[in-house]
Amino acid sequence: MKTLEDFQNGQVLLIDKPLNWTSFQVVNKLRWEIRQKFNIKKIKVGHAGTLDPLATGLLILCTGKFTKKIDTYQAQEKEYTGTITVGGTTPSYDLETEINETFPTDHISDELIHETTKQFVGTIDQKPPIFSALKKDGKKLYEIARAGETVEIKTRKITISTFEITNIDLPNIDFRVVCSKGTYIRSLAFDFGQALNSGGHLSALRRTKIGDFSVDDAQSVEGFIEGLK
C-alpha cells in the first residue's frame, strides 16, 4: 500500500490506457483519486508521452518529484503494434474522422507490402498529421484543422528501427514498429498507403513498450484505483 509520502517523493505508474480516453483524462482521474484518498488539495501528476484517444496501451505517469523525470522517459524508444487499413484515407489519418478518399488495392501483393516497409526503416523525414496537438503560431494544429483552415506543416527527422509486418488480410495490414520520440504512427499509415500507390489510415494502435517498460507490467485505471483502497 502506497503512502502519501510515496506519491509526493515520486512514483512511476505504468497504466494501460483504455480506448477512447485521452492521456489527460487518465492523468486527471489518477490525480483526483490520489487527492481523494489522502484528502489533499494538490499532487503533481504528469504523463510521459501522449497516446491518441483511439490508441490503447502503455502510458507512463509520474507523481510528485518524479515529474522532473518525464522528459527522460519521453525521449526513449517506443514500440507499437497496430493495423493499417489500405484503400482509403481520412483527414486525421485514423478513424477519428470519416474516409474522404478511396483508392484501388487490387495491385497490392504481400511482396509489395514487405518490400515497401524498407522505405521507412532508418532516419526519415515525416510530416506530422494536421490533426495533432502540435502548435503553429501559438494555435494547436487540430484547432486549425477543425476550423477548416490549411496550414503548411514542416517535416521532421524521425527514426524507425523496426517496421515488421505481422499479418496481411487486405485491406488490413498488421504491423509492429519500434521508433524514436516524435514519430506519428498515423503519419506512417498515411505515408505507407501512398507508397503502395493507394491510400491508408490507421485503424488500430497499441503502445507496447517505452524504453525498458512494457505494457505487460501495466495496470488498468480501475486496477490502480482498487490498489489505493
Q: Mapping DSSP to helix (H, G, I), strand (E, B) and coil, where does residue 6 land?
A: helix
Catalytic residue among 16, 52, 94, 191: 52
2-30 CB burial, b ≥16 within 10 A, e <16: eeeeebbeebebbbbbeeebebeebbebb
101-114 CB burial, b ≥16 within 10 A, e <16: eebebeebeeeebe
Catalytic site residue 52? Answer: yes
Q: In angstroms, how far is the first alpha carbon of the chain from the final one?
A: 8
| Residues that are catalytic | 52
